[in-house]
Amino acid sequence: MENTTVKNLLVIVFLLALKMSQAQDTVCTIELGENQLMYRNIENLVTINSNLSPTDFKIVFKNCDSIRQIESKKQFSIIPGRGRVATVNLIDSQDSSIVYYSKTLKIEYLPNPELFYGMSINGSKITPSTGHLFAKYPPSHNLLSLNDSFEILNWKIIIEDKVFEGDGNSISEDVKKELKENNNTEFISVLAVVEGPDGLVRKIGGVYNMR
């Protein structure tokens, strides 16, 4: 009877040692965009790659409001919680005390987009016939997929001592007329109120050259 107990203990010790060795040899990467950040109030795509067998581990997320698995076990759509960081843990599927891999991910608000006057970014030259304003990230940014998600609620355009206002992203005809007729204007200022995909309302602006 004692020999059986000793054998069982030896088996348990061996399995634990094997698990610990496996934990030390684990190779894991987490793909989360160029900046390795999670953004508040939107879905973030997280891809987890590991040399472990899928049956050997399970993934535990901490400080996440929403977790949705996408197609394979490797990809998740995550909406982070209210804290400053979220945590991803790969733990043993049988013994949660064995952690194969752990990573802390910083949580931030989406950066403000740039205000484009037609195709012209802040600081560049515009043409009087331009018809629309856009709130979006410049081509060099890694969040281009969100560009269609920003909505301009209202705007204010200042041309010398005249102020024009409007709703939506369409530039009014009186603004176009003023720009065509006023040859002395060197630059204009534009302010806009924008709602982002995260539900936050932002105030952004720009100064644009006429020459």
Percent of residues, the chain, with pLDDT higher than 70: 85
pLDDT grade, residue 16 (50/70/90)?
very low
DSSP letter (8 states) at residue 196: -
pLDDT digits (tens, 9 = 90+) for 88-143: 998 988 888 888 888 999 999 999 999 999 999 999 999 999 999 999 999 888 88
Task: Give buried/exposed letters for 97-136 (b at 16+ CB in 10 A, else e).
Answer: ebebbebebebeebeebbbbbeebbeeeebebebeebbbb
Q: Six-digit token pair at 196?
A: 């982002």
The pLDDT of 188-209, averaged and rounded, is: 97
Q: What is the CATH number of domain 25-108?
A: 2.60.40.10
> Residue 69 corresponds to which amino acid?
Q
Pick the more confident residue, 108 or 11. Answer: 108
Q: Return the minimum-mean-pLDDT range out of 7-11, 27-31, 86-90, 140-144.
A: 7-11
* pTM over 0.95, yes/no: no
**Rounded to an integer, what distance in angstroms lies between the CA atom of residue 16 and that of residue 12?**
6
Give domain limits for the chain: 25-108, 114-209
Average pLDDT of the chain to the nearest whole number: 86
Pick the more confident residue, 59 or 164. Answer: 164
Q: Minimal CA–CA distance to 185: which of 166, 205, 154, 207? A: 207
The predicted structure's pLDDT at residue 177 = 95
**Rounded to an integer, what distance in angstroms lies between the CA atom of residue 30 and that of residue 89?**
11
pLDDT digits (tens, 9 = 90+) for 39-76: 999 999 998 888 887 778 888 999 999 999 887 668 89
> Burial, 83: exposed, middle or buried (Cβ in 10 Å; 0-12, 13-18, 19+)?
exposed
